[in-house]
Amino acid sequence: MEEDENQTLYADSAYTGANQEQAIIDRKMSNQVCEKGYRNNPLTTEQQANNRIKSKTRARVEHVFGFMKQSMRGLYIWSVGLPRATGILG
């Protein structure tokens, strides 16, 4: 999407891999996805430091969603149909 161009993508290590990397490149976004360690190939101290920097920004957003999920019962909309759901949210 055009509005995603030149945006920074912060995500945890679950979003690593060739497919995700290519999708980020295709959308012309800045990749700030945390790196992932593997068996017998742990992260270097430099990679750990970079992940810590990336996680500070990501955690600020995730805490908001965690609060919504815990205190607002996950923001479920108990209605049938999109028009009613938009009316409830609006």
Report pLDDT for 61. Answer: 82
First to last CA, the chain: 25
Report pLDDT for 41. Answer: 93
Indicate the residue type of 25: I
On whether the CB atoms of residues 1 and 23 are closer than 8 A, the answer is: no
Please say if the pLDDT value at position 10 is more than 80.
yes
- Tell me the pLDDT tens digit for each residue of 26-62: 999 988 889 999 999 999 999 999 999 999 888 888 8
On whether the CB atoms of residues 22 and 15 are closer than 8 A, the answer is: no
Dmax (CA) of the chain: 53
Domain ranges of the chain: 2-89
Return the half-sphere exposure (C-beta side, CA atoms, 13 A cut-off) of residue 24: 17
